[in-house]
A = this chain, B = another copy of it.
């Protein structure tokens, strides 16, 4: 059955294709960036995609960022040698169940979810023998969503973390790693549970806090809310950017990584209570010392980016 559109992408001559056909299940910010990057670097003979939303499918077809847009996930995945799950993490199981029957031995399935433990637990058992699942997470993104938001350079210089299990085929890991490297990412291998703890701190808690403070403002009476928005340059603006990220994606992240998120949140709350107490009691030395310590972390981040 034909998809919505069938236009050949311009192939780059700079690289041998790593895959014959890459199927993207979901075509939001991450998958549409991946489609553009794969094409820009000539890494696949064909890139196809699908989305649950008819509107998103139509838009992806209009943008011409993939060769075929399919209405159906199973059809999209069938015949691909690499299938990328790029859906909100709690949809991974139903998508894997839908595409599994059509996957031939030798096919590689990967994903781009921000949570790895729960995705592996759900997806791995659904895949047929001979199909390798290479769980992955490109640590890249913007506050924008949908196929229009993607761009080929999104992954350049960013980390992509792969979290294979003991069952994962080593050759499959290497092929997926090669794809990420070819589009400019640095690849790390990590234990899934450890990934989820580290990401709870670096990404999930910051998003949760940003959502929460923006929600607090959202509940203020109108006059104050207008002024907060007007004077947002004082610091609040950065939080609104983070809190503009895709609601469904983030809902799923918090629920799928519940344990690590709640644990880190407890630590954050303990620390905040200590700071609150210091303000109430006028403990200036404590505050100054704390605010000086945090500068060292900033220096670490700057050095790590230059490395």
B288 adjacent to A236 (CB under 8 Å): no
Q: Which of A90, A229, A294 has the most CB of B within 10 A?
A: A294
Chain B nearest CB, measured from A114 CB (Å): 8
Assembled-state Cα–Cα distance A132/B241 (Å): 40
> CB-CB contacts of A131-166 with B at 8 A, as 1s and 0s?
000000001110100000000000000110100000
> CB-CB contacts of A293-307 with B at 8 A, as 1s and 0s?
111111011001100
A262 adjacent to B247 (CB under 8 Å): no
- Residue A213 is within 8 A (CB to CB) of chain B in the complex: yes
* A258 contact from B206, B280, B301, Cβ within 8 A: B280
A237 adjacent to B301 (CB under 8 Å): yes
Question: Using Cβ atoms and an 8 Å threshold, which residues of chain B touch A258?
Answer: 279-280, 282
A218 adjacent to B297 (CB under 8 Å): yes
- Residue A211 is within 8 A (CB to CB) of chain B in the complex: yes
- Residue A170 is within 8 A (CB to CB) of chain B in the complex: no
A220 adjacent to B201 (CB under 8 Å): yes
* A282 contact from B141, B197, B239, B255, Cβ within 8 A: B255
Stretch from A19-27, A41-49, A100-108, A270-278 at the B interface? A270-278
* A228 contact from B202, B208, B224, B242, Cβ within 8 A: B202
Question: Using Cβ atoms and an 8 Å threshold, which residues of chain B touch A205?
Answer: 213
Interface size band for A: 35 or more
Assembled-state Cα–Cα distance A211/B275 (Å): 10
A214 adjacent to B244 (CB under 8 Å): no
- Residue A207 is within 8 A (CB to CB) of chain B in the complex: yes
Question: Using Cβ atoms and an 8 Å threshold, which residues of chain B touch A275?
Answer: 208, 211-212, 215
Chain B nearest CB, measured from A156 CB (Å): 12
- Residue A234 is within 8 A (CB to CB) of chain B in the complex: yes
Assembled-state Cα–Cα distance A211/B161 (Å): 27
Known A214-B294, A250-B291: A140·B233 in contact at CB below 8 Å: yes
* A288 contact from B231, B251, B298, Cβ within 8 A: B251
- Residue A284 is within 8 A (CB to CB) of chain B in the complex: yes
For A249, give the chain B residue with the smallest CB separation.
Answer: B291
A203 adjacent to B254 (CB under 8 Å): no
The 9 closest A-B pairs by CB, nearest first: A203-B234, A247-B291, A206-B235, A244-B298, A214-B294, A243-B294, A240-B298, A202-B236, A229-B300
Apart from the given pairs A203-B231, A241-B298, A243-B295, 13 other A-B contacts in the complex at a CB distance below 8 Å: A161-B231, A201-B220, A201-B228, A202-B235, A206-B238, A214-B298, A216-B271, A219-B271, A232-B301, A232-B305, A247-B287, A262-B276, A265-B279
